[in-house]
Amino acid sequence: MDPQGESSTGLSRAAKKRAKKKQKLNVDRNDTDPANTQPPVESSSHAKEGTLKDSDNKLLQKRKFVRVKEDVEETVASGDDVDDDDILLQPPLQCQTLVEILKDTKNTMTARQRSRATLEFLLGKVSVAEFYAKYWEQSPLFIQKTTDKHTRRFEHLLSKSKIKEILQEKATYYGRDLNVARYEKSKDGVKRRVTLDRLKDKVVCEEDPTDVRNFVKVDPDDIWTHYEHGCTIRLLCPHEHSDEIQALLSTLELEWGCMVGANAYLTPPNSSQGFAPHYDDIEAFCLQLEGKKRWKVYAPLNPGSVLPRFSSSDFKEEDLVGIQPLLDVVLEAGDMLYMPRGWIHQACTLRSGAEENEHSLHLTVSAMQQWAWADLMEVVFPEAVQAVAESATSNELRQGLPRNFLDYMGAMHDNNPDKMPEALKMLAKRVESQDDEDAKAKALKRQERFRSEAKKRIMAVANEAMELLDAACDQMGKRFISDRQPTAWSEEERKVLYAETKLLPSHLCRLARPGIARLVLEDDKAIVYHCNDNARTYRTHALSPLEFELDDAPAIEQLLGTTEPHWICVADLVHDTIEDKVGVAQALYDENILLIRE
């Protein structure tokens, strides 16, 4: 991503060059571990230390590679490579609401432990290990009431009264901040979703799609009139108005390592339904905040819609005739429903005359959108093709295609009848009856030669793709940094981050939160991308990366690789001089990337 903050999937020229040469920084992550490494001896560094006060020297000696004494196991969330038991926690027994865990006022957990505890709280009695093994990307999961306190689980996230307050006190716009929709029968008798958003005739500001001039301002009275007539109100960015929801998303981004978003749905009573049956391109966690809602969940209709990359269009009722839902459940306050990508679903409030006829408010937390292997491959393979095509050592991809190769290649020339449509099978038989044996043998030989040449070039591209894999992962990392939520700091963290402290060599540092910053080498510079200037709304603030010299990279890698509960002393960074060490740490601290302590 360039400094202007536009998302980019291309690899920089320097990145490809480094990947090609397999250059690596001479930095060992274990340098910060006193059990594995002795403090480095640097003559220039010690010469500088000699000019410091005696008290500073004593602090430096005392704090060489200092670790926090608390016995908290450090863990790294890296998907299947992580043993879930390593960071498995039971949320504090006194925590009856999700918000209590998110705030963690007594500071009982590291950030990673808090993210895991948050997921555990959502899952109720289902362990995280069981969830990832049996449900994640595989099957829906319904977590329902177990105790009387269960209904309080999601208190203080959002409420109907809070939505009324938002609409009354803040300027909101159709299509940007909310949608109004209803699922109803059309004149032809077919039920369809009807969206009642008011839209402008044309885009006023093309440079910024989120500019308010492109949208019609909401009149709160109109919204509640639609609501009274059975329409669902969908808030597109509830975390913009709720610190608690924003903290939830920021916390779960650490658990899953991808952007986490949210929508909120307020549906009136009397069997009201806002949206037609459909499936989504997200892992969906539906948290029932108020009232009740009946959900029907159907398995994917075919293998091609398992874990889809894009959401479906609306299904009609006749599309689901004869298909039994895997789940037909009523969510009450405190319940949660998880649905993988591709699972068809629809939901409505309870019918008129039901025992408890009330509105429904639920929050959908989403993850893994366009975060599949295919998305990584879309980054790496175009760059690999270009790199091989521009290779100075081989011109195979630049060579012309064989003359008249279309005379023997393509579906109509395929000798495998099982792969042909019926129409082509008939054509092939007619052609085959007209060809003599010598011609068929010649064509077959040409096909084999063509496939062999193509395979050789495909493998060259695949090998190059492996060389570029780290650089492609950096591009995905930059995309995540751009898309994710700003960090939800605690009050204690804010006091440290905004103190404007001038760092000394004796200061201890660590990354303020795991994953909030990433070091990328581009165009012979060390660039640090971070999310601290992000807005709560999707990509409305440009990234503001920090640019360093390449010789700063080892020290930066040490600082970004030191996470709680560990600390590293500024004087112990890998760099030429004390001034360099302090300068790198100060630049990162000034951008709220590092926490410090004396």
Give domain status of residue 5, yes or no.
no
- Whether 242 and 364 share a structural domain: yes
pLDDT band at 203 (very low <50, low <70, confident <90, very high): low
**Tokens read off for 299:** 């398995």
The residue among 293, 242, 251 whose CA lies nearest residue 272 is 293
**Domain contains 102:** no
Task: Report pLDDT for 386.
Answer: 97
Tell me if 344 sits within 8 A of 315, measured CB to CB. Answer: yes
- The whole-number pLDDT of residue 429 equals 63
Q: Does residue 395 share a domain with residue 360?
A: no
- What is the reported pLDDT for 13? 45
Nearest to 273 by CA among 314, 232, 319, 311: 232
> Do 223 and 270 belong to one domain?
yes
**Least confident range of 202-211, 340-349, 357-366, 476-485:** 202-211
DSSP H stretches of helix in 486-560: 491-497, 553-560
3-state secondary structure of 548: strand
On the question of pLDDT at 224 being above 70, the answer is: yes
Q: Are 223 and 268 in contact (CB under 8 A)?
A: no
Residue 38 pLDDT more than 70?
A: no
What does the pLDDT read at residue 42?
A: 35
In this structure, are 246 and 354 located in the same domain?
Answer: yes
Nearest CA among 584, 581, 564 for reference residue 573: 581
Contacts of 160 (CB under 8 A, 6+ apart): 266, 290, 359, 361
What is the per-residue pLDDT across 311-334, written as a single tens digit (0 to 9) for each?
Answer: 999 999 999 999 999 999 999 999
| Residues 418 and 488 reside in one and the same domain | no
Q: Could you tell me if residue 171 is inside a domain? A: yes
Band the pLDDT of 11: cuts 50, 70, 90. Answer: low
Report the percentage of the chain scoring pLDDT > 90: 67
Tens digits of residue pLDDT in 55-96: 444 444 444 434 333 332 333 333 444 444 445 455 555 688
Window from 427-436, 477-486, 514-523 with minimum mean pLDDT: 427-436
* Model confidence band, residue 219 (pLDDT cutoffs 50, 70, 90): very high
pLDDT band at 423 (very low <50, low <70, confident <90, very high): low
- The residues facing 235 across adjacent strands are 178, 264
What is the DSSP-derived secondary structure letter of residue 231?
P
Percent of the chain with pLDDT over 70: 78
Of the two residues 145 and 387, the one the predictor is more confident about is 387
The residue out of 336, 370, 404 marking a domain boundary is: 370
Mean pLDDT of the chain: 84
Q: For residue 569, is it within any domain?
A: yes
Label each residue of 139-192 as H, E or C.
CCEEECCCCHHHHHCCCCCCCHHHHHHHHHHCCCEECCCEEEEEEEECCCCCEE
Band the pLDDT of 245: cuts 50, 70, 90.
Answer: very high
* Same-domain status, 240 and 268: yes
432, containing H or E segment: helix 422-434
Name the more confident of 381 and 72: 381
349-357: Cβ within 8 A, 24+ apart: 349/267, 349/268, 349/269, 349/270, 349/271, 349/272, 349/273, 349/291, 349/292, 349/293, 349/294, 350/269, 350/271, 350/292, 350/293, 350/294, 351/270, 351/271, 352/269, 352/270, 352/271, 356/292, 357/269, 357/270
- Does residue 502 sit in the same domain as residue 538? yes
Section 523-549 average pLDDT? 90
347, 273 contact by CB (below 8 A): yes
Residue 120 within a domain: no
Judged against a pLDDT cut of 70, whether residue 346 lies above it is answered with yes
Q: Looking at residue 108, what is its pLDDT?
A: 84
Cβ count within 10 A of residue 353: 8
Range of the domain at 439: 375-468
Task: Tell me: pLDDT of 19 over 70.
Answer: no
Q: Do 186 and 307 fall into the same domain?
A: yes
State the Cα–Cα distance between residues 390 and 385, nearest whole angstrom. 9
Per-residue pLDDT band for 200 (boundaries 50, 70, 90) equals confident
Give the tokens for residue 105: 């006022």
- Whether 536 and 239 have beta carbons less than 8 Å apart is answered as yes
Q: Verify that 410 and 539 share a domain, yes or no.
A: no
Decide which of 370, 399, 424 is a domain's last residue. Answer: 370
Total structural domains within the chain:
3
Q: Is the pLDDT of residue 27 over 70?
A: no
What's the CATH code of the domain at 173?
2.60.120.650
Residue 176 within any structural domain of the chain: yes
Residue 80 resides in a domain: no
Considering the domain boundaries, does residue 78 fall inside one? Answer: no
- pLDDT at position 321: 94
pLDDT recorded at residue 207: 63
- Out of 340, 370, 400, a domain closes at 370
Helix (H, G, I), strand (E, B), or coil: what is residue 362? Answer: strand
Region 342-351 average pLDDT: 96
**Are residues 405 and 364 part of one domain?**
no
Residues 388, 440, single domain; the answer is: yes
Can you give the CATH number for the domain in which 44 is found? Answer: 3.90.930.40
pLDDT value of position 420: 60
* 546's tokens: 């920090």
Asked if residue 346 and residue 235 are part of one domain, the reply reads yes
Tell me the one-letter amino acid at 461. V
Q: Which residue has the higher pLDDT, 79 or 276?
A: 276
d(CA 67, CA 98): 31
